[in-house]
Structure 1
Amino acid sequence: MKALFVAGTGTDLGKTHVACALLEAARARGMRVDAFKPVVSGFDPEAPDQSDPARLARALGRPEAWREVSPRRYRAPLAPNIAARLEGDTLKMDDLVSDCRDWLSRRDVDLALIEGAGGVMSPMTDTATNLDLMSALGLPVLLVAGSYLGTASHLLTALEVVRARNLVVAAVVVSESLDAPGLDQSMALLRAFEHRAPLLSAPRASCWTASALVDALV
């Protein structure tokens, strides 16, 4: 089984957009896939179909499975630890790591994705970040960046801290940011600085498929 951690250089950059496209492209090749987002905030239980867990579930071909995709769901669109506290809950890194390991141990698929919340250094608990979860799991990282002005600094910083934890960056995907410099321009800039991992682009166009990403990763 190929397992990856999908991380972002920041929040709302397109991690789920990329993860869904990767799952769909892998399924189109006959691969068995699954996805897990251990905690999600900004979840509206009155409109679950609009949530990241629901999007991932649809990409799996199991739209009813969003509860399984994200077992820890909180309403407030805030950092998970704060959103959890508002509902009387306390997130602990040991629990999140245990959730992910247990989920992985029960998968019998060709490709399994675990998607983080927010950016690499976004808080997950009161004392730990996404990077701490990534480090504990030790999975290869699919790092998603935007194409906005300033993305080079954010991406290169994320690459430094991820690799400083001895994590392998399996690929970098630049997800097209709206109202930003051209995607091709951003790609050319980033290719001048990143030479170790495959660097691919993810246009927002509905016709985009992640076939090249499957080739690079699986």
Structure 2
Amino acid sequence: MRRLFVTGAHTDVGKTYVACAMLRAARAKGLSADALKPVVSGIDLADWAGSDPGLLLEALGRPLDLEALDRIAPLRFAAPLSPPMAARLEGVDLRLAQLTRFCQAGLAASAADLTLVEGAGGVMSPMAEDGTGLDLMLALGLPGVLVGGSYLGAISHTLTAVETLRARGLAIEAVVVSQSADPQAPDFAQTVESVAAFAGGVKVIAAARGEQAWASELV
């Protein structure tokens, strides 16, 4: 059984896109799959099919109902802010131990061949009042799949995240460079090459827009 933590070098770089592609690739290979999104902000419970947990459930082939949603994403907040800021607006004191307990219980209960835990925002984005995404990764001790972008500045963001994870002793399964939708973004192939040149031997995978065959390399 493989357990991986999907994290980002920045916000909105495609963590959920990568996680969903991995789940679909696993199922296409005949493997069982599961996912956890311990906390999500910016979600509208009147229309959540396109939210991160909604997309994860779709990739898992599960019904989009509240029972399934509660199982993979129990902590949900409306404001499109960092989880602790969004929680604060709803009078909730969000703590790292709460997220850790949920993930540990979910991982222990899952018999899937592949289980993904998806963070929120970037590696150092606050996940709770007393912890960042990095702190949750350390608490769980899972290898990471780091998702970076291809926008101007993304190379530095991605390599900084790589060094941050290494400095704390966390294993990096792979770096996935997700192609930006901005037509003015730097050349995608050269961006991937630059990340690979400085990533110190970590596997770097190019996730071009409209393609998902690359995901089979990760499952």
Name the TM tier (shorter chain).
over 0.9
**What is the letter of the counterpart of residue 154 of structure 1?**
H
Quote how far apart the aligned CAs of 1:63 are. Answer: 3.2
Contact 1:56 1:66 in 2 (8 A): no
Q: Runs of at least 4 residues of structure 1 off by over 4 A?
A: none
Q: Equivalents in 2 of 1:43, 1:89: separation in Å?
A: 16
Determine the structure 2 residue equivalent to 1:191: 196
The yes-or-no answer on 1:154 pairing with 2:157 is yes
If the length of structure 2 is used for normalisation, what is the TM-score?
0.94
Determine the structure 1 residue equivalent to 2:5: 5
Determine the structure 2 residue equivalent to 1:167: 170
Determine the structure 2 residue equivalent to 1:82: 85
Q: Equivalents in 1 of 2:77, 2:92: separation in Å?
A: 10
Contact 2:6 2:146 in 1 (8 A): yes
- Map 1:1-218; keep pairs closer than 5 Å: 1-64=1-64, 65-179=68-182, 180-205=185-210, 208-210=211-213, 212-215=214-217, 217-218=218-219
Quote how far apart the aligned CAs of 1:68 are. Answer: 1.8
Contact 1:54 1:63 in 2 (8 A): no
Deviations along 1:23-60, one digit per CA (max 9) or x if unpaired, are 00110010000000000000011111121100000000
Contact 1:9 1:158 in 2 (8 A): yes
Unmatched 5+ stretches in structure 1:
none
Deviations along 1:66-111, one digit per CA (max 9) or x if unpaired, are 3322110000000100101111111111111111000000001100
Aligned length: 214
Unmatched 5+ stretches in structure 2:
none
Contact 2:18 2:215 in 1 (8 A): no
Q: Equivalents in 2 of 1:196, 1:142: separation in Å?
A: 14
If the length of structure 1 is used for normalisation, what is the TM-score?
0.95
Contact 1:9 1:119 in 2 (8 A): yes
CA RMSD of aligned residues (A): 1.1
Q: Equivalents in 1 of 2:179, 2:69: separation in Å?
A: 26
Same amino acid, percent of matched pairs: 52
Quote how far apart the aligned CAs of 1:178 are. Answer: 1.6
Q: Equivalents in 1 of 2:32, 2:122: separation in Å?
A: 27
Contact 1:79 1:122 in 2 (8 A): yes
